[in-house]
Structure 1
Amino acid sequence: MPASASMDLTTPDGLWLVLAVLVPFVGVFVGLLLGGRNAQRVAMVTLVLGLGIAFAIARALVQTGDALVYLLGGWTPPLGVALRADGLSVVMLVAVAVVIGVIGIYACGDFGTPKGTREARAPFMFWLLLLAVWGSLNLVFVSGDVFTLYVALELLTFAGVPLVSLDGRGETLQAALRYLVYALLGSMLYLLGAFLLYGAYGTLDISLLATQVRPEPLTWAAAALMTGGLLAKTALFPLHLWLPPAHAGAPAAASAVLSALVIKGGWFLVVRLWLDVFANVVTWPSVQLLAALGAAAILVGNVVALRQARLKLLIAYSTVAQIGYLFLMFPLVFGMDAAQLDSASTVSGGMLQAISHATAKAAMFMAAGLIYSTLGHDRVADLRGAGRALPMTMVAFALGGASLIGLPPSGGFLAKWLLLSAAIATAQWWWVLVMLAGGLLTSAYVFLVVVRAMTPAEAGWEPKARVPRYQQLAVLALALCSFLLGLAALCPVDMTQIGRSYIPLAGAR
């Protein structure tokens, strides 16, 4: 956390943080009370309000040049709970608001209440769960203590799991239950680690813990338990077994939410804990182990993705692989600090990788949903005709894939460039090889899908259904966001570093 966040004062714009969390949950309750078709209308109004709040928070952060703080009830930590937002929090708030908004537009085609029907179960539940996921993620990003983060994680779990089984089929219910088991196991481990921290230091406030934690066995045990629990929620290899069936079996809009956003909550907590709370106790073997799991995820996830017969399963295993890149950031930040180099750009690279993945993967899952509706299936070997029937959708899929590969000027390119530069600067050449191999494997399955989709259909073939044009435009807009995120390099200010203080990791000393 930034140094200024330790001040026991509410900043002038701190109330925006409360609204960022409160507005989505108010939308849930209003939609629940009004019911029926009104749930969708309430959700759309809430999406607009929430997007405006996210941009207002970003504007306030840039103008003040410092973190935003709000003390709930006016009580200062450790007795009270503080909401805090530095640059890392705000970029995630804005990115999630944009992605949620576009998914909401797309979902109007799949989860609109049918005409002549007062209320349908799946649409009603989807809109409420979408808002609940959004509010939970916002709470993850602005929470200032590890117990509030636990509450946010649980809210995120219980909002995300039902999205898997909206259609009520047996296989999706089984996938949702597996997801729930992994999530609850992760929660128990995280909470046990939080108990250890409180018993040792008498506080759960992140800023206070950052100044008090010491490199001792109890702290290492707490860090291991909390990190292990978060890895289960993030689906990092080998704790990924719940992800492919859950993401591939859910409806396209729900898959986009789960793959692009929900898993980012656990990863963001790992970033917050390792870079802020445990910055003084992190060791070289621990960051190498974390990155080794990420490297295994990249290689195994991409290889398995290449072998998939269904498009949605291919994209789901691609998510397993892309999660791995997010954890390569940790040894690179450690190495930069150890070499007494500025690690800010490496942290920014990790954050940009998360955001570019969120936009690209949401676009790809939604594109897969449109392909399924048009062809009546999503068999990779028989995608012929999709390119002609859905030209904008296939362009969007290709742009999202280009970002995952890391082609310029995509966000994936800039993110990987920053991470590769840190790996070269710190002589960690093995991570360079992993990233290059991952890019080649990703390009293989993206190329395979695009080429097969562009193959002309048989004479006389007609699409099974016509998808709304606005859905195709929504997918294309999100893919373009991912592809053009590399232009963030032109921004005069690195927003991720606003309000943060430089806390070198232990190995740098």
Structure 2
Amino acid sequence: MPISDVSSLLPLLVAIPLTGAIFSVLINSKHGQVLTGLLAALSLALVICAILLGLPSEGLQSTTAFRYPLAGWEAPLGIALSLDGFSALLLTLTTFLVTVLTFYSAYYFSASPARVRFWPLWWLLVAGINALFLSADVFNVYVTLEIIGLAAVALVALSGNKAGLTAALRYLLVGLLGSLCYLMAVALLYHLYGTLDFAQLAAKAESNPLSWAALALITVGLVLKTALVPLHFWLPHAHGSAPAPVSAILSALVVKASFYLLVRFWMEILAPAVTNDALMLLGILGGLAILWGGIQALRATRLKLMVAYSTVAQIGYLFLLFPLLMSAEGTSASQLAAQHQSALAAVCYFIVAHACAKAAMFIAAGNIIHSLGHDDIAKLQGMAKYMPLSLFTFAIAGGSLIGLPPSAGFIAKWLLLNVAIDTGQWWWVVIILTGGLLAALAIFRVLDLAFIKPEQASEQVAPDNWQKVPVAMPLSGLALALCTMALGFNADLIIDLITIGGGE
């Protein structure tokens, strides 16, 4: 497929979910909204498949090879959409997860009055995520961040209870503060360089005080949205209080969107302003997140809260990318480029592994709440007898988060360990292994109650105290959990994709 044909498909990735949101408002019937959602998900899947089939197998030589100027106006007068291997990977991941979660949501909200508000907000959120991954303009990214933030806050508030509304309000205030920091940086960059286009900024960027200030503001704003320790205080309760499919997409995709932007700014757009000390600082915060999130997950009394704190820990692994980008004295340009590519490949693999595993775990937790009306860990004794598929899903996904072979989580951590050792930063090996141990303790604590102690179930869970969930709901989570295993056998798929646009 010619490059122009692939580029012309990019706007559809935003237009389809926007159309789904509009039709979800116009169609107020239960079956009509579900049908609209499934058609939108299928359409997105077809478009992303066409794009992937059009990518050259030998890789591209420019990050802007797939570029679509909106209304025919190129930068700096117009706004363009662009695609490279990194964004293509995240768009593919988004489409896959949205398709599964849309199918799951059709059953999850089937008897809930919240479905009327859920579907338009759901597709607005998806449109914002896709637009962010495609954006090649700094201000356009701000617009997409606002769309994502407002839709995500409204989805968190769908639970309707006091905890959910409080978490949504906290999420809103944090999101607005993060966006304000980012917008101030946009103004600085435009004043300094006279353009907001990614490629043009990357070509003009210099190491000077204003560039440092802009990068600092962008980093603070995006770190708030990514929930890196110590700015993570909003995430556990927002993810823990939201409906299950909302928790899944927030953990799997929304926090990854702001991290994606951080990588773009630190590795490409404002790379001349980056220093080794700043890279190490982000790595230290990532290491603290791994330890703190793991400890809090181990102490949590609610299942969804435990999974949410696990997200805090897993985010920490992503930030280990930055110190692994540090350039040592005497390193040649080609060696540094290979080092960057290896580190990015490890983190990209980790993003995919974590997204599938965490979405599966939130689905499993949602099924348990749907059946029991609670997710109190102490009262889950013997639940495997009544919900074997959901607990099996939780176990498989948990194994990937721990890093057990042959899961995708194992491959991701193995790649991270290799880069840490190759760059002589052995201390990250200790952090990674300790984080895996804490994750294992938290997950096996739940499995111990659910699988190992069925004889106590009669005291805690009686058959008349739980409701059976439609089989499609646990199967949705199981499909995602099994994907984490399948990806463990197909590492080349992800690594080959992200090399597109990475050539020199």
- Do the structures match in fold with TM over 0.5? yes
Alignment correspondent of 1:134: 126
Give me the whole-angstrom Cα distance separating, in 2, the residues matched to 1:124 and 1:337.
Answer: 59
Give me the whole-angstrom Cα distance separating, in 2, the residues matched to 1:501 and 1:76.
Answer: 24
Give the one of 205, 210, 213 matched to 1:213.
Answer: 205
Q: Is the 8 A contact 1:260 1:361 kept in 2?
A: yes
Alignment-mate amino acid for residue 387 of structure 2: L
Q: Is the 8 A contact 2:279 2:325 kept in 1?
A: no
Report 1:349-428 matches (<5 A): 349-428=346-425
SS at match of 2:67: strand
- Structure 1 residue 113 displacement after superposition: 5.0
Alignment correspondent of 2:34: 40
Give me the whole-angstrom Cα distance separating, in 2, the residues matched to 1:362 and 1:275.
Answer: 28
Give me the whole-angstrom Cα distance separating, in 1, the residues matched to 2:27 and 2:75.
Answer: 38
- Pair 1:23-2:25 in alignment: no
Give the one of 84, 87, 99 matched to 2:85.
Answer: 87
SS at match of 1:351: helix
Alignment-mate amino acid for residue 247 of structure 2: S
Alignment correspondent of 1:6: none
SS at match of 1:458: helix
- Pair 1:328-2:329 in alignment: no
Give the one of 7, 12, 35 matched to 2:5.
Answer: 12
Give the one of 246, 261, 272 matched to 1:254.
Answer: 246
- Structure 1 residue 167 displacement after superposition: 2.5
Q: Is the 8 A contact 1:375 1:386 kept in 2?
A: no
- Structure 1 residue 139 displacement after superposition: 0.6
Alignment correspondent of 1:299: 291
- Pair 1:194-2:186 in alignment: yes
Cα gap change, 1:239 to 1:492, in 2 (>3 Å): closer
Q: Is the 8 A contact 2:353 2:400 kept in 1?
A: yes
- Structure 1 residue 489 displacement after superposition: 2.4
Q: How many residues are treated as equivalent by the alignment? A: 488
Cα gap change, 1:233 to 1:490, in 2 (>3 Å): closer
Unaligned runs of 5+ in 1: 1-8, 115-119, 503-509
Alignment correspondent of 1:458: 458
Give me the whole-angstrom Cα distance separating, in 2, the residues matched to 1:39 and 1:252.
Answer: 19
- Pair 1:275-2:263 in alignment: no
Give me the whole-angstrom Cα distance separating, in 1, the residues matched to 2:218 and 2:489.
Answer: 35
Alignment correspondent of 2:488: 486
Report 1:83-232 matches (<5 A): 83-113=81-111, 120=113, 122-232=114-224
- Structure 1 residue 375 displacement after superposition: 3.1
Q: Is the 8 A contact 1:84 1:144 kept in 2?
A: yes
Cα gap change, 1:453 to 1:364, in 2 (>3 Å): same
Q: Is the 8 A contact 1:259 1:362 kept in 2?
A: yes
Alignment-mate amino acid for residue 43 of structure 1: G
RMSD of the alignment, in Å?
1.8
Unaligned runs of 5+ in 2: none
**For 1:434-473, what per-residue CA distance to the aligned partner results, in whole angstroms no more than 9, with x for missing partners?**
1111001001111111111112122793151001111111
SS at match of 1:494: helix
Q: Between the two proteins, what is the percent identity of the paired residues?
A: 44
Alignment-mate amino acid for residue 364 of structure 1: M
Give the one of 74, 90, 95 matched to 2:72.
Answer: 74
In terms of mean alpha carbon deviation, does 321-330 or 335-344 score higher? 335-344
SS at match of 2:10: helix
Cα gap change, 1:202 to 1:487, in 2 (>3 Å): same
SS at match of 1:188: helix
Cα gap change, 1:175 to 1:68, in 2 (>3 Å): same
Cα gap change, 1:490 to 1:257, in 2 (>3 Å): closer
Cα gap change, 1:287 to 1:493, in 2 (>3 Å): closer
Alignment-mate amino acid for residue 49 of structure 2: F
Alignment correspondent of 2:478: 476
- Structure 1 residue 501 displacement after superposition: 4.2
The normalised TM-score by structure 1 is 0.92
**For 1:387-445, what per-residue CA distance to the aligned partner results, in whole angstroms no more than 9, with x for missing partners?**
11111111111111111111112111111111111110111111111111100100111
Alignment-mate amino acid for residue 65 of structure 1: G
Give the one of 39, 46, 49 matched to 2:43.
Answer: 49
Runs (4+) off by over 6 Å: none
Alignment-mate amino acid for residue 79 of structure 1: L
Q: Is the 8 A contact 1:164 1:175 kept in 2?
A: yes
The normalised TM-score by structure 2 is 0.93
Q: Is the 8 A contact 2:349 2:495 kept in 1?
A: no
